[in-house]
Amino acid sequence: MSQSYFTPDEKALVVQLMRLLIRGLKDQISNDDINRVHDIINGAVTHGHYSRDKYGLNPVVRFLRTAVAVNENIAPDRSMAIATLLFNLARSGYVTLDELRTKFDADIAKLVHGLINVSELYRKQAAVEDDNFHKLLLSFAEDIRVVIIMIVDRLSLMRVIDAHTDEKFVREISTESRYLYAPLAHKLGLYGVKSELEDLSLKYLNNKVYSQIVKKLSETKVMRENYIADFVKPIRAALDKTDLKYEIKGRTKTINSIWNKMVKKDVDLKGMYDLFAIRIILDTKPEDEKKACWIAYSIVTDIYMANVSRLRDWITIPKSNGYESLHVTVRGPEDKWVEVQIRTRRMDEIAERGLAAHWRYKGIKSEAEIDHWMNNVREVLEAGADGHMELIRDMNMNLYEEEVFVFTPKGDLFKLRQGSTVLDFAFHIHTKIGCRCIGAKVDGKTQKINYVLKSGDTVEIMTSSNQVPRQDWLNYVATSKARNKIKQAINEANLKKAEIGREMLTRRFKNRKIDVDDAMLAKFIKKQGFKNINDFYVELHDKNLDVVTTIDQYLEFVKRMTESAMPRETAENFVLVSKKTDEHESDDILVIGENVKGINYKLSKCCNPIYGDRILGFIASDGAIKIHRHDCGNLKHLKEKYPYRIIKSAWSGRHGKQFVATLRVVGQDDIGIVANMTSLINKEGTAMLRNITINSLDGLFEGYLVISVNSLEQLDELMKKMRTLKGVKEVERT
């Protein structure tokens, strides 16, 4: 290799690492492979294609360290080693995937492609703590070996940044290691890698605490080892006197786990219950498991005093994830607390090999199918030394094939269902953004609202204040959230249009001095083919119907209906008749008897009486009788001032006329509440919505609905049904 690129120390290190790598790969790598890798790297260095990264690190040395660490921590694998050494040159364009496929094989090209894919994610500036980032990384990797290389590469990097001068860089790398790489290593069963990553992260992120724990552990290392041996000795002697077959393991927690326990329990090292931990693993038949564990428990607690409050019996009642074990904390020699875990070989397999997912036991949760998949990978990794690494090459990495993960320009990561479009993403961010969306810049390229997103896309939504949702948008979305928001926005827009259309028509009627019969207008609208009266007014607003032409058609319709109808009722046949309701009333109160014929009457608009209401008449100055509801406020005033003009009235047995009633409705301002109310009214036979006014504030709405009904009975039934609508709190007649 070119010598000028390397410092003397780096030169010696490269030679040393190459020897370790070749020795570790043994028969897996040929001399031709070694020569080709050497030529590619040397050529890149010679032509100035290799350069130190922005943090001053030599990538040749870094990835050699990673390749060696993969061999040492996982298993010797030719493809993983070569891909690790060359992917950086493929990413920079010095060597192509086709060249790698030709010079080596398709498997190496596949791994390099996966490594390039996941390296691109870091340009998105995403938060690695986000669980969606974990999922996106796995879907981008294409091959589980890519994830393994990334984890080991991070470990190699963490080992050499101890003295790095850029503190920000060190903290960023350490944070990523703690929140992304350590959990992934744990899930894959790489417990040694996971523990070292966590310990090094603590070292760089909280060096004071790390140093204190290391110093304490260093000072007590020999003492701890001796202590564990002394602690186990009487237990082993007692177990040997039984028929139990057993294995005892002693351990001290990792630095990071000690710190976590100290924080959780708010204690120092001296106050920790389980700084020392002993595990007793029993070999026994399934039917004898519980008995054997409790025998071992009794032996331990006979020797050492137990802290009963810290007994954890997950044998009688296993954890929901299947974990089974007896945990007891006992006071050992020198009054030190030691945690003893007692379990059978089967239980230990469940806890350690993933059948109950040991990493889930630690509080990490994920989907069940990924549990199973990860456990398979772990078992293969644990058997890697026997050459079983080949088995993971064909493992399916499409874990999230029903999901798509996209970034915002700021690096925020969002999960949507597969098939989602720019419009779905816009509504996912915010309803207002969705309603004003006109397209997006996806990875810098302008795309339409129906562009289907791919995992890893960076999406910047473009909006316009003039944009409004349209009916055809429903064909461009895949998520129910976007679909519901579009429908809601269209309905709200149509209600506003309908109100404006109604005002337009009313104004034209007034200009032409036309007295409109609301019931007749409703029949006319229905005759025009509109199922919903609001649709008619929307068409007027959108100028799909000409107002002048519509009025002319209405007048012609009224003329035809009038000519074909029965003669209009006169006072002789009128629904209002005189009727004594109380025979004991004073004789000086005016009662209409047989002289009811020819009397002119009007239904008062102040209270809008309808058929079935208790009513009274008031003789106006023009001789006409105005009919009021019995409880009308104006009538109360008139009775006090003009009691001699009050006339008893009652309905005859005939009805069929449409009467107007106003309802006040209060409720929660939920999606579709207005549409639900109008739909209910339209379904109520001859009932008809004539006008609606809605005001909303702080999540509540107050509405006034003007309705045409046949009778009080019909109105009461309608109000009863409206009260059952979801979100409606009050319904009252005004």
What CATH number does the domain containing 409 carry?
A: 3.10.20.30
Question: What is the rounded distance in angstroms from the CA atom of residue 222 to the CA atom of residue 367?
Answer: 43
Mean pLDDT (the chain) is: 79
The one-character DSSP state at 655 is -
CA distances, 391 to each of 194, 254, 382 (Å): 23, 32, 12
The structure tokens listed for 48 are 């100035």
Strand-strand pairing, 326-331 and 403-407: unpaired
Least confident of 330-339, 387-396, 475-484: 387-396
544-550 own/partner pairs: CB under 8 Å, 24+ apart: 547/504, 547/505, 547/508, 548/508, 550/505
- 3-state SS string over 381-403? HHCHHHCHHHHHHHCCCCCCCCE
Is residue 214's pLDDT more than 70? Answer: yes
Rounded CA-CA distance 200/502 in Å is: 72
pLDDT in tens, 183-201: 878 777 677 788 899 999 9
Q: Which amino acid is at 114?
A: G
pLDDT, one tens digit per residue, over 323-370 is 788 999 999 988 888 889 999 988 877 665 433 333 333 333 444 555
Q: Look at residue 227 in the predicted model and tell me its pLDDT.
A: 86
The pLDDT value given to residue 572: 34
**182, 198 Cβ separation under 8 angstroms:** yes
- How confident is the model over 249-259, as pLDDT tens digits? 877 778 888 88
Report how far residue 427's alpha carbon sits from residue 446's, in angstroms, rounded to the nearest whole number. 18
CB under 8 Å to 130, separation ≥6 — which residues? Answer: 413
- Confidence (pLDDT) at 462: 94
Q: Give yes or no: residues 21 and 165 share one domain.
A: yes
DSSP string covering 43-86, please?
Answer: HHHHTT-----TTS--HHHHHHHHHHHHHHHT---HHHHHHHHH
Last residue of a domain, one of 622, 651, 680: 651
Residue 395 has pLDDT above 70, yes or no: no
pLDDT digits (tens, 9 = 90+) for 643-662: 877 888 777 655 557 788 88
**Which CATH number covers residue 105?**
1.10.3210.10
Question: Measuring CA to CA, how many Å separate 209 from each of 205, 255, 696?
Answer: 9, 10, 56
User: Measured in Å, how far apart are the chain's first and last C-alpha atoms?
Assistant: 94
Q: Choose the weakest-confidence range: 156-165, 493-502, 614-623.
A: 614-623
690: number of Cβ within 10 Å: 19
Residue 344 belongs to some domain of the structure: yes
What pLDDT was estimated at residue 355?
A: 33
Q: Which residues does residue 660 pair with via DSSP β-bridges, in sequence order? A: 708
Continuous segment of H or E residues that includes residue 721: helix 712-723
Is residue 619 assigned to a domain? yes
Are residues 89 and 222 both part of a single domain? no
Q: Report residue 289's pLDDT band, with 50, 70 and 90 as the boundaries.
A: very high
Share above pLDDT 70 across residues of the chain, in percent, rounded to a whole number:
80
Q: How far is CA 446 from the centre of its chain?
A: 27
Q: Look up the CATH number of the domain holding residue 235.
A: 3.30.460.10
Residue 546 structural domain:
488-564
Q: Model confidence at 116, in pLDDT bands (50, 70, 90)?
A: confident
pLDDT digits (tens, 9 = 90+) for 688-728: 888 888 877 767 888 888 888 888 888 888 888 888 888 88
The span from the CA of 485 to the CA of 297, in Å, is: 61
Examine the domain organization and report whether 527 and 618 are in the same domain.
no
Separation of alpha carbons 732 and 661, rounded Å: 11
Distance CA 570, CA 575 (A): 9
Judged on CB neighbours under 10 Å (0-12, 13-18, 19+), 438 is middle
pLDDT, position 385: 43
Q: Coil, strand or helix: which one is 646? A: strand
The stretch 82-99 carries a mean pLDDT of 90
Cross-strand partners of 541: none
Q: Are 492 and 473 members of one domain?
A: no
Helical residues (DSSP H) of 182-336, grouped into ranges: 182-187, 191-205, 207-240, 255-265, 289-303
Where do the DSSP E strands lie in 431-529?
437-442, 445-447, 459-463
Instruction: List phi, psi (to 5°) of 706.
Output: -95, 120
Q: Give the best-scoring range by mean pLDDT among 253-257, 269-273, 552-556, 670-674.
A: 552-556
- Residues 605 and 462 reside in one and the same domain: no
pLDDT at 165: 84
**What confidence tier does 298 reach under pLDDT thresholds 50, 70, 90?**
very high
pLDDT at 53 (0 to 100): 74
Distance CA 463, CA 433 (A): 7
Q: What pLDDT, on the 0 to 100 scale, is given for residue 531?
A: 80
CA distance to 66, 555, 663, per residue, from 104 (Å): 20, 87, 81
Count of alpha carbons within 13 angstroms of residue 517, beta-carbon side:
13
385 within domain boundaries: no
- Of all residues in the chain, the percent with pLDDT exceeding 90 is 19
625-629 and 601-603 beta bridge pairing: parallel
**Are both 201 and 214 inside the same structural domain?**
no
pLDDT of 371 strictly over 60: no
Show which of 161, 189, 205 is a domain's final residue.
Answer: 205
**How many domains is the chain partitioned into structurally?**
6
Lowest mean pLDDT among 81-95, 138-152, 259-273, 400-414: 259-273
Which of 424, 459, 478 delimits the end of a domain? 478
Q: What is the DSSP string of 571-597?
A: TTT-SEE---S-TTS-TTS----GGGT
382: in domain: no
Residues 170-179: what's their mean pLDDT?
A: 88
The per-residue pLDDT for 337 is 84
Pair 560, 582 in one domain: no
The three-class DSSP label of residue 461 is strand
CA 500 to each of CA 192, 465, 469: distance values in angstroms, whole numbers, following the listed order: 71, 21, 19
Together in a domain, 444 and 470: yes
C-beta of residue 288 within 8 angstroms of C-beta of residue 294: no
| 632: amino acid identity, one letter | C
Q: Give Cα separations from 111 to 24, 116, 118, 140 (angstroms).
A: 20, 9, 11, 11
User: pLDDT tens across 13-46, in order?
Assistant: 888 998 888 888 888 888 888 999 988 988 888 8
Average pLDDT (59-82) is 87
- CA–CA gap between residue 252 and residue 218 (Å, rounded): 12
Q: For 635-648, what is the mean pLDDT?
A: 79
270 assigned to some structural domain: yes
Q: Is residue 366 part of a domain?
A: no
Residues in CB range of 165: below 8 A, 6 or more apart: none
441 and 513 housed in the same domain: no
Q: Is 238 part of a structural domain of the chain? A: yes
Report pLDDT digits (tens) over 420-441: 999 999 999 888 999 999 999 9
Instruction: Report strand pairing: 576-577 vs 650-651.
Output: antiparallel
What pLDDT score does 366 carry? 47
Res 296: pLDDT = 95
Whether the full predicted model's pTM is greater than 0.75, yes or no, is no
26 part of a folded domain:
yes
User: For residue 410, what pLDDT band results from cuts at 50, 70 and 90?
Assistant: confident
Q: Are 693 and 560 found together in one domain?
A: no
- Together in a domain, 58 and 200: yes
pLDDT confidence tier of residue 582, bands split at 50, 70 and 90 = very low
Considering the domain architecture, whether residues 452 and 494 belong to the same structural domain is answered as no
Q: How confident is the model at residue 577 (pLDDT cuts 50, 70, 90)?
A: very low
CB of 538 within 8 A of CB of 568?
Answer: no
